[in-house]
Amino acid sequence: MDTITALIAGEKVASGGAPIAIIDPATDTLVAELPEADDATVDRAVLAARRAFDDGSWRFMPVEARQAVLRRCAELIEASADTLADIECTNTGLPLAQIRGRSVLRAADNFRFFADYIGQATGRLYEQHPDYLTMVRREPVGVAALISPWNSPIALGSMKVASAIAFGNSCVLKPSEQAPLGISKLVELLGEAGLPEGVVNLVNGRGATTGDRLIRHPEVDLVSFTGGTPTGRVIMRTAGELLKPAEVELGGKSANIIFDDADFEAALDGALLGIFTNNGQQCLAGSRILVQRGIADRFIEAFVERARRIKVGDPRDPATVIGPMVSQRHMQHVLSFVPGSAAEGELLTGGCRAGDTGAYVEPTLVRAADRDARLFQEEIFGPFAALMVFDTDDEAYALANHSRFGLVSYVWSQSLQRIMTAQERIQAGTVWCNTPMMRELRAPFGGWKESGIGGDGGLECEAFYTRAKTVSIPRRPLQLRKLGA
Ligand code: NDP
């Protein structure tokens, strides 16, 4: 497989850095050895982005031309959808059908969405002052460092690139060292879209080395990060020290509240989709299922029965729902949450590795012993749901909010009154009512509490990737005081 250490101003660059093994988690075989982008390579990438920004060929391009390039990016992604999905599947173990049907299309949508958005962006004008007009313009910030995670590399990495460049910035993307192949291929494709050289660059390597070097680079002006909460703290600390604007989209442990008046089948379907899609490796997974006592036994029985029938296996098999975890190490992490005693919880189904080869985990449901159980509080990031039963609505909200995370939440009820109360009481950046994940790109998507600061969305990305400039102009000749006259 073709491996890319870095893509700088359209050129594939080899680097002398340490080799990183890229493993297919379905078969435990080595797919590629990727030399890490060393300091000199990071410098080169950032300087290419700087030149592309400073020469103005992208940010001053007429908006219609910029929109056309972004739309061409989307077309190129769609034209290579099969190849991209194939590479992403090999590198991540995510089911091919889910990548092809969701992530790759989402990547193309990301470019189209921002192409449309910039065509309608406006400034502000203040004309209340009798002598002056004051306009507020928004300009791109400069060179963006974009750091993305491994759990959905193409969808998440493309979101960062599309939003950064749409507003006229240039960027250097560093994907996760564990899953760089699909997104590297995607960035390579963008080279044919008509982007001026150096607008989009890529460096591969480990976070603590390549990523850290990138963020600290003096020519990097802003930082966008998606990943785990512990890393987010490090990024915010570094960005804060250097006074660089940063947004961090972090982990979750999202509550899925099922009231006893819910449409039972829909809530069951939603709960299964919420925890088992994307191999359970989703920031927005509904990983804490809260079910009301009146329907709890029936719900648990039905969930367990359905979970046991879910096909775990070869991610290329169209019937597969859950492929392998991204690595053996991550599989061990997921399995480490299986309760060893009743003090932690009761295993209702799953809890074991599936097969001897590949990092497969059975779909798992555990009834947590109490709300402070580790498995009810920490992000497991796999096909592993923790469940608790509640009696009253207030108890459901208390359980849902008893978390340091606040990314999303799900609520199921046929009472409009209950839904309206629930969406107010739940502490999370997004509340999905009677539906599994529904991504509205126009609306903000970002976490509360330790799930992040800032996030995606039309206005939100515009606010982050541009900065305001206030320009005041006299309406008529001014009579200025003549100092020293
Ligand atoms: P990590 O935090 O481990 O890594 C994320 C990225 O940061 C990777 O590219 C990583 O590189 C890099 N990185 C690590 N350390 C540093 C550092 N010191 N400086 C700069 N970059 C660094 O997250 P994962 O990749 O494990 O992703 C899973 C996490 O992402 C989960 O917690 C999940 O909830 C969260 N996530 C949040 C989303 C949201 O929208 N809120 C969406 C998707 C995922 P490398 O891997 O090469 O070390």
Residue 313 Cβ contacting ligand 1 at under 6 Å: no
Q: Structure tokens of 43?
A: 């410098």
Binning pLDDT at 50, 70 and 90, where does residue 1 land? low
Residues 263 and 398 in one domain: yes
Residues 68 and 180 in one domain: yes
In a domain, 481, yes or no: no
In a domain, 482, yes or no: no
Whose tokens are 């709890």? That residue is 296
Pick the atom of ligand 1 nearest to 149's CA: 25
In a domain, 478, yes or no: no
Residues 378 and 269 in one domain: yes
Q: What percent of the chain clears pLDDT 90, i.e. is strictly above it? A: 97
Q: Structure tokens of 402?
A: 């008893």
Is the model's pLDDT at 3 over the cut of 80?
no
Ligand 1 atom 48, closest CA: 207
Label residue 7 exposed, middle or buried (CB < 10 Å: 0-12, 13-18, 19+).
buried
pTM exceeding 0.95: yes
In a domain, 444, yes or no: no
Is the model's pLDDT at 16 over the cut of 80?
no
CA of 247 to the centre of ligand 1 (A): 13
In a domain, 484, yes or no: no
Please name every residue paired with 391 in a beta bridge, in sequence order, or none if there are none: none
Residues 261 and 242 in one domain: no
Question: What is the extent of the structural domain holding 49?
Answer: 2-250+451-471
Looking at residue 209, its pLDDT comes to 95
Ligand 1 atom 32, closest CA: 228
Whose tokens are 């059975």? That residue is 362
Please state, in angstroms and rounded to a whole number, the distance separating the CA atoms of residues 42 and 16. 12
Please name every residue paired with 355 in a beta bridge, in sequence order, or none if there are none: none
Residue 214 Cβ contacting ligand 1 at under 6 Å: no
Pick the atom of ligand 1 nearest to 379's CA: 32
Give me the mean pLDDT over the 297-304 stretch.
98
Q: Which of 154, 163, 248, 283 to mutate to test the pocket of ligand 1 (most atoms within 8 A of CB)?
A: 283
Residue 280 Cβ contacting ligand 1 at under 6 Å: no
Residue 428 Cβ contacting ligand 1 at under 6 Å: no
Q: Structure tokens of 146?
A: 């974009």
Is the model's pLDDT at 97 over the cut of 80?
yes
Label residue 401 exposed, middle or buried (CB < 10 Å: 0-12, 13-18, 19+).
middle
Looking at residue 39, its pLDDT comes to 95
Is the model's pLDDT at 455 over the cut of 90?
yes
Residue 283 Cβ contacting ligand 1 at under 6 Å: yes
Residues 116 and 50 in one domain: yes
Please compute Rg for the chain using Cα positions.
Answer: 24
Active site residues: 249, 283
Considering only CA atoms, which of 437, 439, 442 is closest in space to residue 460?
A: 442
Mark 209-225 as b/e (b = at least 16 C-beta within 10 Å): bbbbbbbbbebbbbbbb
Residue 93 Cβ contacting ligand 1 at under 6 Å: no
Pick the atom of ligand 1 nearest to 234's CA: 18
Please name every residue paired with 377 in a beta bridge, in sequence order, or none if there are none: none
Residues 26 and 163 in one domain: yes
In a domain, 479, yes or no: no
Ligand 1 atom 22, closest CA: 207
Residues 163 and 278 in one domain: no
Q: Structure tokens of 254?
A: 């999202």
In a domain, 244, yes or no: yes
Total tally of structural domains belonging to the chain? 2
Distance set, CA 31 to CA 58, 134, 192, 298, 424 (Å): 36, 58, 26, 45, 48
Residues 362 and 214 in one domain: no
Binning pLDDT at 50, 70 and 90, where does residue 5 land? confident
Is the model's pLDDT at 42 over the cut of 90?
yes
Give me the mean pLDDT over the 140-167 stretch.
98
Binning pLDDT at 50, 70 and 90, where does residue 14 land? confident
CATH number (domain holding residue 183) = 3.40.605.10
Pick the atom of ligand 1 nearest to 452's CA: 41
- Please state, rounded to an integer, the average pLDDT across all residues of the chain: 97
- pLDDT tens, residue by residue, 80-94: 999 999 999 999 999
Is the model's pLDDT at 468 over the cut of 80?
yes
- pLDDT tens, residue by residue, 200-253: 999 999 999 999 999 999 999 999 999 999 999 999 999 999 999 999 999 999
Q: Which of 42, 222, 226 to mutate to test the pocket of ligand 1 (most atoms within 8 A of CB)?
A: 226
Residues 413 and 295 in one domain: yes
Residues 318 and 240 in one domain: no
Residue 381 Cβ contacting ligand 1 at under 6 Å: yes
Pick the atom of ligand 1 nearest to 205's CA: 47
CA of 339 to the centre of ligand 1 (A): 26
Residue 457 Cβ contacting ligand 1 at under 6 Å: no
Please state, in angstroms and rounded to a whole number, the distance separating the CA atoms of residues 260 and 22. 46
Is the model's pLDDT at 134 over the cut of 60?
yes
Residues 59 and 80 in one domain: yes
Binning pLDDT at 50, 70 and 90, where does residue 95 land? very high
Residue 407 Cβ contacting ligand 1 at under 6 Å: yes
- pLDDT tens, residue by residue, 316-354: 999 999 999 999 999 999 999 999 999 999 999 999 999
Looking at residue 416, its pLDDT comes to 98
Comparing 26-40, 154-168, 256-270, the range with the smallest average pLDDT is 26-40
Looking at residue 15, its pLDDT comes to 76
CATH number (domain holding residue 261) = 3.40.309.10
CA 199, 160, 173 angle in degrees (round to 5)? 55
Residues 277 and 160 in one domain: no
Give me the mean pLDDT over the 160-184 stretch.
97
In a domain, 12, yes or no: yes
Is the model's pLDDT at 2 over the cut of 60?
no
